[in-house]
Chains A and B, each alone.
Chain A
Amino acid sequence: MTTRPSPLADLDRQERAALEALGLDPDALDRPPTCPEPALLVAAADDVLSPEVADGVRRHAAGCAYCSRLTEALGHVYDEAAALPSAAVDRRVRGASAPAAHGGWRWAMPLGGLAFAASAAWAFLAGVSQVATPPVPPVPTAWPTPATSLPRSVFVAGRPSIPVADLDLVFRGEAAPATSPADVASEALELASRGRLDEAVAQLGQASRRYPEAAEVALALGALLLEQGETQRAVATLEPARQRGRSALRSEVEWYLAVGYARSGGLDRAAALLVPLCEGGGPRSAVACAGLDEIAAGRAER
Chain B
Amino acid sequence: MATFEELYQRHLPVVLRVAWRAVGRRDIAEEITADAFVVLHREFDRIDPDQLPAWLITVVRNKATDYWRRQKVEQRHSESLAAAHESTAPRVSLVPGLLDAPTLKPVHRACLVLRYVHGMSRAEIAARLGLSDTQVRGHLQYALTLLRKELGKAQS
How far, in Å, is B100 (CB) from chain A's closest CB?
8
Q: Are B92 and A24 in contact (CB-based, < 8 A)?
A: yes
Q: Are B92 and A29 in contact (CB-based, < 8 A)?
A: yes
Assuming the A-B contacts A117-B42, A120-B42, A170-B72, are A43 and B113 also in contact, with contact meaning beta carbons closer than 8 angstroms in the complex? no
Q: Are A190 and B21 in contact (CB-based, < 8 A)?
A: no
Assuming the A-B contacts A128-B39, A131-B62, A173-B85, are A35 and B117 also in contact, with contact meaning beta carbons closer than 8 angstroms in the complex? yes
Contact with A along B93-126 (1 / 0, CB 8 A): 1101001100000110110011111111111000
Assuming the A-B contacts A4-B79, A77-B110, A89-B37, are A43 and B92 also in contact, with contact meaning beta carbons closer than 8 angstroms in the complex? no
> How distant is the Cα of A137 from the Cα of B8 in the complex, in angstroms?
22
CB contact list, B65-83 vs A, under 8 A: 65-66, 68-82
How far, in Å, is B130 (CB) from chain A's closest CB?
5
> How distant is the Cα of A209 from the Cα of B148 in the complex, in angstroms?
59
**How many interface residues does B have (CB within 8 Å)?**
95
> How distant is the Cα of A97 from the Cα of B36 in the complex, in angstroms?
12
How far, in Å, is B34 (CB) from chain A's closest CB?
4
Assuming the A-B contacts A131-B62, A134-B58, are A92 and B38 also in contact, with contact meaning beta carbons closer than 8 angstroms in the complex? yes
**How many interface residues does A have (CB within 8 Å)?**
95
Of A33, A48, A177, which contacts B68 at CB under 8 A?
A48
Q: Are A2 and B140 in contact (CB-based, < 8 A)?
A: no
Q: Are A10 and B122 in contact (CB-based, < 8 A)?
A: yes
Contacts of B16 in A (CB 8 A): 82, 86, 89
Assuming the A-B contacts A24-B94, A187-B73, are A114 and B45 also in contact, with contact meaning beta carbons closer than 8 angstroms in the complex? yes
Contact with B along A1-32 (1 / 0, CB 8 A): 11111011110001100110111100011111
How far, in Å, is A61 (CB) from chain B's closest CB?
12
How far, in Å, is B127 (CB) from chain A's closest CB?
11
Contact with A along B116-156 (1 / 0, CB 8 A): 11111111000011110000010011001101100100000
How far, in Å, is A187 (CB) from chain B's closest CB?
5
> How distant is the Cα of A49 from the Cα of B71 in the complex, in angstroms?
12
Q: Are A38 and B78 in contact (CB-based, < 8 A)?
A: no
Q: Are A176 and B77 in contact (CB-based, < 8 A)?
A: yes
Contacts of A187 in B (CB 8 A): 70, 73-74, 77
Q: Are B82 and A176 in contact (CB-based, < 8 A)?
A: yes
Q: Are A5 and B121 in contact (CB-based, < 8 A)?
A: yes
Confirm or deny: B41 has a beta carbon within 8 angstroms of a beta carbon on chain A. Answer: yes
> How distant is the Cα of A121 from the Cα of B17 in the complex, in angstroms?
25
Q: Are A73 and B113 in contact (CB-based, < 8 A)?
A: yes
Of A15, A76, A129, A173, which contacts B106 at CB under 8 A?
A76
Of A65, A79, A121, which contacts B96 at CB under 8 A?
A65
Confirm or deny: A248 has a beta carbon within 8 angstroms of a beta carbon on chain B. Answer: no
Contact with B along A150-168 (1 / 0, CB 8 A): 0000000000010110011
Q: Are A136 and B46 in contact (CB-based, < 8 A)?
A: yes
20 contacts across the A-B interface (CB closer than 8 A): A1-B77, A4-B80, A8-B121, A10-B123, A23-B151, A29-B92, A37-B71, A42-B22, A66-B113, A73-B107, A73-B113, A76-B106, A76-B110, A78-B17, A79-B21, A81-B129, A83-B17, A89-B33, A136-B43, A172-B80
Apart from A38-B114, A86-B16, what 19 extra A-B contacts exist at CB < 8 Å? A7-B119, A9-B121, A32-B89, A38-B120, A65-B96, A66-B117, A70-B109, A70-B113, A82-B16, A89-B16, A96-B34, A97-B4, A118-B42, A129-B65, A164-B72, A167-B69, A167-B72, A169-B72, A190-B74
Interchain residue pairs A-B with the least CB separation, the first 5: A39-B24, A33-B85, A7-B119, A76-B106, A65-B96
